[in-house]
Amino acid sequence: MQDPVASLISLALAEDIGSGDVTSLYFIPLERRARAFVTARRDGVISGVAVAARVFLAVDPTLDVEIFIPDGSQVAAGALLMRIEGAARPILTAERTALNFLQRLSGVATLTSAYVALIKDTSAHILDTRKTTPAYRMLEKQAVVHGGGTNHRLGLYDRAMVKDNHLMAEGGLPGLQASIHQLKTELPEVEVELEADTLAQVSAFLTLEGVDHLLLDNMSLDELRAAVAARGEHPTPQLEASGGVSLATVRDIALTGVDFISVGALTHSAPALDISLDFHKI
């Protein structure tokens, strides 16, 4: 089975190079050698430097690539992240694709770290969601971890998440309990999460067996506190707040006592971190 990151790199390079890098082909002598450094232009958390290195080596395996600062590191503007040395043409050909990965993923890690810092003295954890760039999910979720966050389910296969649209199709609490029991019998390793829009639903769902998580959707702070109180001292189901989460609101949400706070913005709205590649004389 092919490495999914290798496949993604291959697709990204094919998209950019097409029939050939005509600029490098016609304006850079074949024998020209170069040394380039990748530099962070803003403070942030780095993610994707290992992927960027793979991009350069995918274009030319003879390049000498050295990583100075590993993924998950907090850096200041001006930090040198990596060095690439060898033939100038392949360095220039790989530059944009490598930076696209590195800037995008570092942006996710940096935004995640900002959320995590705001709630570091609480018991809550920051979660990502499935609102990811198509085909980038594993990399973006890894970037969330590099920023200090926690991964939610990876896809539709590793956690059952029963939302309002699913609930419309089943037969009340008895039907829901039967479905949970069947899933737990056939797939005991898969966790179950139910979405609650109201405190009445929270109370009802707390009577069910086999529920690992409750998603508290778009609830006010008072409702979140009431849901925590209703759950009591029991460790499960764990409570996840979702909806209306921003850097301005996340701390107040964490202080209600919920276990997790899911933030779609980590992956769907993270601005890229400004990172550059510059040539230096050998």
Active-site annotation, residues: 96, 131, 163, 195, 217
Alpha-carbon distance 187 to 171, whole Å?
Answer: 21
**Alpha carbon separation from 126 to 28, 135, 226 (Å, rounded):** 47, 22, 21
Dist. CA 259–CA 112, nearest whole Å:
17
Partner residues linked to 82 by β-bridges: 38, 67
* CA nearest neighbour of 131 among 113, 111, 155: 155
Distance CA 190, CA 181 (A): 12
Query: What is the torsional sign of CA 115, 121, 124, 125?
Result: positive
142: nearest Cα among 102, 171, 176, 175: 102
Helix 4-17 and helix 49-59, axial crossing angle in degrees, nearest 10: 60
How do 275-280 and 33-40 pair as beta strands?
antiparallel
Residue 171: how many other CB atoms lie within 10 Å: 9
